[in-house]
């Protein structure tokens, strides 16, 4: 190994600051190290000495380095041989053991790998600056909301190789302090390796990467090394709405400008997004306590962020308090909450949420805080009768109006200010262009910071390349990305280009559908016919006609038996005309479905009197669950389509006239809430393309 530059990130003296703060003893070793390197490289030592020109100088230390170097150089020059240098080198420690060098090499490699994914986030004019991290090769970047917020909806992203890219805001999570940005034009952006942050343990080495104090003008990230000081930390909201739940605490220096940047483990794998420190009387600089949002939380929110919405955190609909024995007891519960409908009452003991034991109030907040609203979680509680295992739907923590207030900054605000003061957007980590050079100075807001999220940025020729990628709408960070996600889940692009196989393509419009089957475990027949505006359901001996729009709310409210027919009708519409033709439709994000390990894409469609929620598989694009809701205070109808079979469909012909096979549900499970489902087995599906014919 050739002698590496002693200031390679990850080598012994990890950062300039640490070098400057080293005691003289180590400076001496450093000096000797430099001399040794000089000898090995046969280089003029003075050149090396003058190479130690730091941007900011600890005067005494540098003086010492320079004096000893200069004096040594003088001696070598004057005496004419290097025996003195040899003597000095003899004082220096022998080479470290190979294992140490190996560790150092590993560290250098991890930092080099991780640094490629670390980015700087700047305003359109290239000014200001926070940090961020590339999380996908197609250019998604995570940062803090409080970093992206002052820049509006467009910004620039500097990769560590010096490239500058345009970026547009996608989705924001003001409560969780996350923002998702998107760069375009490449499919090989240097994405970080993401690992399960629940595997992180106290004592593991880790490092923060980013642009503290906007030091790096060449976009090379600064690395600060440390250990994980605590995991599953809960940090109270302090003066703002923002709370950090289940976060990672580290003693790696987190300073202003590190915000939004990655926290990596020792191997250079992404474990968190740095965003907050415990700052009190010592000013806004590192005091050995920094917090990172766990990457698991960020990943749980990723689907929501990709929807382009202003995403929200969740509430359980009840509050808890710990009693004298340390048990977590329900202290208040909304009768309209899903938990109440599942049987939870005042005074019950909460045992576990999402499979994690609840040992304290903080722990419950920790578990809850990492999930977006719209999520349904496992809940275990204990009442007088015994232990109950069930699922509860999480509600939204804020109303749309409250979120609006948060993102416009009045009167609530987003950025974390652990000192409890109202946040000032001009703090060093999200500086405005005009105070770039005054790191420690707070200046009053300028109009830029007041810019509302929906406004277009100032005209700029570089921006025009992305102008089609932004669409303002209330409740959205960028509505454009919502449309893009709906295109993805409905394979709209593939349909447009005709690249889909006929079996995967949409069903023809204006079909007459005839489903026949029976209720499992009973001899009750189930026949559903749907044609244009005529819906007819025969259940056993009863036949009823269903209006295509009206009366649906009544069926859901009364938990009517014809509910499954509504879901089948929605399934048909989704698969023939598509969600956009069904009503107002919004892609929500990803959400769990009972019985499935991976989260599914969730789309909300307003269909007449009711709200419908479509859960579709990200891989196969098939509908796995349709929920219909009439009143948010009541249970939804849930119809699971979890048994598809590709079947030759009578009456359906491909354009070339051949009979077509398509995946259709063989069995559906239908229930209101978590009641015992009605299971319907389908025996046959007939379709006819000419309306009115049998």
Q: DSSP labels for 571-590?
A: HHHHHHT-GGGTSEEEEEEE
Binding mask 97-116 for another protein (x = CB under 8 A): x-xx-xx--x----------
Binding mask 305-334 for another protein (x = CB under 8 A): ---------------------x--------
| Closer by beta carbon to another protein, 226 or else 477 | 226
CB of 550 to another protein, least distance (A): 54
Nearest to 52, CA basis, from 112, 6, 18, 9 = 6
- The Cα 342–Cα 354 span in angstroms is 15
Stretch 257-286 residues interacting with another protein (CB under 8 A): 266-267, 278, 280-282, 286
Nearest to 277, CA basis, from 427, 390, 81 = 427
Q: In this structure, are residues 276 and 244 in contact, taking their beta carbons and an 8 Å threshold?
A: yes
67 binds another protein (CB under 8 A): yes
Helix-then-strand count for the chain, H and E: 16, 31
User: Among this protein's residues, is 312 annotated catalytic?
Assistant: no
First to last CA, the chain: 82
- The Cα 476–Cα 171 span in angstroms is 7
Stretch 408-467 residues interacting with another protein (CB under 8 A): none
Stretch 620-649 residues interacting with another protein (CB under 8 A): none
Figure out which of the listed residues 41, 47, 57, 79 binds another protein, where binding follows CB under 8 A: 79
82 binds another protein (CB under 8 A): no
75 binds another protein (CB under 8 A): yes
28 binds another protein (CB under 8 A): yes
Q: Which of these is catalytic: 131, 259, 562, 630?
A: 259
448 Cβ contact partners less than 8 Å away, ≥ 6 residues apart: 123, 150, 152, 432, 433
DSSP 8-state class, residue 309: B
493 Cβ contact partners less than 8 Å away, ≥ 6 residues apart: 487
Figure out which of the listed residues 31, 255, 518, 616 binds another protein, where binding follows CB under 8 A: 31
CA atoms within 13 A on the CB side of 305: 28
| Closer by beta carbon to another protein, 32 or else 652 | 32
Q: Which helix (H) or strand (E) holds 258?
A: none
95 binds another protein (CB under 8 A): yes
Instruction: Give ∠ CA 491-494-498 in degrees, rounded to 5.
Output: 135
CB of 202 to another protein, least distance (A): 5
CB of 23 to another protein, least distance (A): 4
User: Among this protein's residues, is 177 annotated catalytic?
Assistant: yes
Figure out which of the listed residues 19, 27, 119, 172 binds another protein, where binding follows CB under 8 A: 27
Instruction: Give ∠ CA 638-640-643 in degrees, rounded to 5.
Output: 170
Figure out which of the listed residues 55, 94, 386, 655 binds another protein, where binding follows CB under 8 A: 94
User: Among this protein's residues, is 146 annotated catalytic?
Assistant: yes
Q: Which of these is catalytic: 173, 177, 251, 429?
A: 177
Stretch that binds another protein, among 301-309, 359-367, 556-564, 640-648 (CB under 8 A): 359-367
Figure out which of the listed residues 7, 24, 391, 644 binds another protein, where binding follows CB under 8 A: 24
CB of 177 to another protein, least distance (A): 18
Figure out which of the listed residues 131, 197, 229, 670 binds another protein, where binding follows CB under 8 A: 229
- The Cα 129–Cα 146 span in angstroms is 11
Q: Where are the alpha helices (DSSP H) in 80-229?
A: 83-91, 98-115, 145-148
In terms of Cβ atoms closer than 10 Å to its own Cβ (0-12, 13-18, 19+), residue 392 is buried
Contacting positions for another protein (CB under 8 A): 21, 23-29, 31, 64, 67-68, 71-72, 74-75, 78-79, 84, 88, 93-97, 99-100, 102-103, 106, 201-205, 226-230, 232-233, 235, 249, 251, 266-267, 278, 280-282, 286-289, 326, 359-360, 362-363
**Catalytically annotated residues:** 146, 177, 259
């Amino acid at each position: 190994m050739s002698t590496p530059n002693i200031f390679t990130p990850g080598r012994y003296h990890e950062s300039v600051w640490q070098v400057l703060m080293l005691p003289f003893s180590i400076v001496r070793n450093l000096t000797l190290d430099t001399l040794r390197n000089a000898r090995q490289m046969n280089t003029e030592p003075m050149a090396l000495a003058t190479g130690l020109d730091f941007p900011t100088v600890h005067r005494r230390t540098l003086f010492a380095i320079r004096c000893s170097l200069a004096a040594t150089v003088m001696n070598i020059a004057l005496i004419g041989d290097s025996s003195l240098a040899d003597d000095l080198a003899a004082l220096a420690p022998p080479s470290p053991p190979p294992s140490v060098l190996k560790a150092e090499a590993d560290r250098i490699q991890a930092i080099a790998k991780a640094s490629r994914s670390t980015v700087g986030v700047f305003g359109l004019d290239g000014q200001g600056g926070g940090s961020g991290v590339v999380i996908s090769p197609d250019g998604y970047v995570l940062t803090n909301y409080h970093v992206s917020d002052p820049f509006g909806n467009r910004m620039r992203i500097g990769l560590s190789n010096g490239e500058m890219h345009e970026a547009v805001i996608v989705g924001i999570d003001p409560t969780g302090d996350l923002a998702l940005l998107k760069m375009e034009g490449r499919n090989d952006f240097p994405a970080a390796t993401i690992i399960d942050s629940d595997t992180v343990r106290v004592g593991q080495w880790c490092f923060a990467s980013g642009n503290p104090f906007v030091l790096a003008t060449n976009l090379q990230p600064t690395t600060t090394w440390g250990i994980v000081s605590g995991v599953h930390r809960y940090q109270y909201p302090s003066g703002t709405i923002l709370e950090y739940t289940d976060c990672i605490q580290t003693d790696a220096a987190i300073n202003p400008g590190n915000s939004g940047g990655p926290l990596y483990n020792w191997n250079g794998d992404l474990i968190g997004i740095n965003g907050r420190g415990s700052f009190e009387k010592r000013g806004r600089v590192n005091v050995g306590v920094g917090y990172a949002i766990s990457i698991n939380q960020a990943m749980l929110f990723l689907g929501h962020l990709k929807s382009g919405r202003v995403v929200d955190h969740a509430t359980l609909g009840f509050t808890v308090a710990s009693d004298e024995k340390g048990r977590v007891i329900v202290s208040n519960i909304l009768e309209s909450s899903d938990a109440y409908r599942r049987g939870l009452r005042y005074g019950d003991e909460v045992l576990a949420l999402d499979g994690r034991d609840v040992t304290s109030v903080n722990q419950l907040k920790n578990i809850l805080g990492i999930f977006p609203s719209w999520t349904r979680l496992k809940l275990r509680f204990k009442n007088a009768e015994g232990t109950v295992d069930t699922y509860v739907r999480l509600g939204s923590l804020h109303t749309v109006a409250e979120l609006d207030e948060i993102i416009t900054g009045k009167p609530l605000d987003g950025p974390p200010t652990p000192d409890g003061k109202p946040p000032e957007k001009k703090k060093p980590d999200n500086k405005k262009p005009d105070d770039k050079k005054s790191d420690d100075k707070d200046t009053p807001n300028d109009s830029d910071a007041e810019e509302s999220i929906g406004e277009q940025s100032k005209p700029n020729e570089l921006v025009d390349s992305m102008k089609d990628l932004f669409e303002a709408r209330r409740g959205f960070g960028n509505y454009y990305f919502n449309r893009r996600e709906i295109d993805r889940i409905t394979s709209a692009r593939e349909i447009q280009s005709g690249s889909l196989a006929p079996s995967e393509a949409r069903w023809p419009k204006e079909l007459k559908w005839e489903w026949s089957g029976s209720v499992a475990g009973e001899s009750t027949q189930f026949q559903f016919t749907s044609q244009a505006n005529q819906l007819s359901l025969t259940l056993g001996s009863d036949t009823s006609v269903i209006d295509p729009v009206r009366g649906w709310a009544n069926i859901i409210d009364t938990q009517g038996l014809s509910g499954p027919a509504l879901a089948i009708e929605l399934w048909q519409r989704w698969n023939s005309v598509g969600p956009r033709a069904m009503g107002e439709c919004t892609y929500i994000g990803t959400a769990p479905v009972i019985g499935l390990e991976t989260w599914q894409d969730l789309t909300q469609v307003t269909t007449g009197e009711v709200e419908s929620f479509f859960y579709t598989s990200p891989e196969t694009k098939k509908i796995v669950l349709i929920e219909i809701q009439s009143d948010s205070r009541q249970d939804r109808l849930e119809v699971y389509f979890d048994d598809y079979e590709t079947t030759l469909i009578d009456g359906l012909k491909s354009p070339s006239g051949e009979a077509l096979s398509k995946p259709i549900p063989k069995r559906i499970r239908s229930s209101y809430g978590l009641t015992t489902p009605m299971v319907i087995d389908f025996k046959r599906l007939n379709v006819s393309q000419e309306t009115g014919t049998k």
